[in-house]
Structure formats: structure tokens, C-alpha cells
Amino acid sequence: MSFDLRAFRDTLGCFATGVCIASAMGKDGRPVGLTVNSFTSVSLDPPLVLFCLDNRSESLSSFLDAPGFALSILSADQMALSNSFARDPAATRWDGVGAVPGKGGAPLIPGALAVLDCAHHATYPGGDHTILVGRVLGYAHQPGAPLLYYRGGYAALANGQG
């Protein structure tokens, strides 16, 4: 059976999402982070969330070795951060961000619409990605509008509301 990867990706892109930065503290004391839109809430009791990490990610081992990770849900005005954490070399992504450590030690993005601070709960194989499930230790949110991602590009709420 032939499988048209481009058409598959275009189909997945029809699901509008928010945009997060997933982050963790590396063993060497350096933060790691990347832009993700695979964030999903999983369970309320216990409080669990997940994201999917490409097995080719430079940060994979740091995420797997860390006691936890954080997800910072980006605001509409944080598109530049989203691009930086998707494209810039890992070593320079945190320059000037002013990250603050969460309860689990993972760096949180200032100005994010919401943050979820997680302890490592479980890891599952997911094809060419690894599914990381975190148990939420702390969370916070603030008023504002989210950064959205849809059909391969950024989008905003039509009413501009938060």
C-alpha cells in the first residue's frame, strides 16, 4: 500500500492546536527545550499530561534522564519564541529568555499563557516518536490569547480574545 506522507501531514494539520515549549533540565545543568504541538491532557486524577518527542531530537536523552519536564503554553505574542525553539541551535535557544525553574527543576518560559510543571510518570514507544507522560506537580495560567498552529502555519483566535 502506498502512503502519501505529505497528504498524511496535511491531514493532521487540519487539527488546530496551541503551541508549547517542552523543557527539562539536563544532567549537565543546561536547560533543553523545543517547540511542540503534540501536548495532550490525559487524566485529571491523577493529573497527567503528555507530549510526543521525535526520536531524532537532540534533547531526547536529556528528557529521558530528567526527573521531570515542563510545558509552557505560548501566548499569541510569543511566535518568535516558538520559531526559535523549533529552528535555532539548541545551545542558543535559551539566550535572553529569562527562564525560571519550576517545582520539578525544569525551566519555565516567562510570559507564557500557562505552565505545567511535571514529574516524569511514564514513557511509551510511539513509532518514530517517544510519548512522555508527566504527572503535574504545579500549574498556573494567566489571562491572554493563545498562539495557535493550523495547517502548517500560525493562527490566532478570530475574536482575538483570551
Nearest to ligand FMN of 86, 100 (CB atom): 86
Nearest approach, Cβ of residue 33 and ligand FMN (Å)? 8
Nearer to ligand FMN, 24 or 103 (CB): 24
Q: Is 94 in the site for ligand FMN (CB under 6 A)?
A: no
Binding residue for ligand FMN (CB under 6 A) from 25, 52, 70, 97?
52
Shorter beta-carbon distance to ligand FMN: residue 57 or 103: 57
Whether 47 and 135 have beta carbons less than 8 Å apart is answered as yes
C-alpha–C-alpha distance, residues 23 and 63, integer Å: 8
Read off the C-alpha cell for 42: 490525559
In our burial notation (b when 16+ CB lie closer than 10 A, e otherwise), range 57-82 reads: bebbebbeebebbbbbbbbbebeebb
**Contact region with ligand FMN (CB under 6 A), list: 3-11, 32-40, 70-78, 100-108:** 32-40
- Kindly identify the residues of this chain, within the stretch 122-161, that bind ligand FMN according to CB under 6 A: 149
Region binding ligand FMN by CB under 6 A among candidate stretches 54-62, 71-79, 96-104, 113-121: 54-62
Helix-strand-coil split of the chain, %, nearest 5? 20, 45, 40
Tell whether residue 66 is a contact of ligand FMN (CB under 6 A). Answer: no
Do 119 and 134 meet the contact criterion of CB atoms below 8 Å apart?
yes
Distance CA 100, CA 129 (A): 28
Side-chain-side CA neighbours of 158 within 13 Å: the count stands at 1
* Of positions 23, 25, 31, 35, contacts ligand FMN by CB under 6 A: 35
If one asks whether residue 53 binds ligand FMN (CB under 6 A), the answer comes out as yes
Contact residues: ligand FMN, CB under 6 A: 19, 34-38, 51-54, 57-59, 86, 90, 149
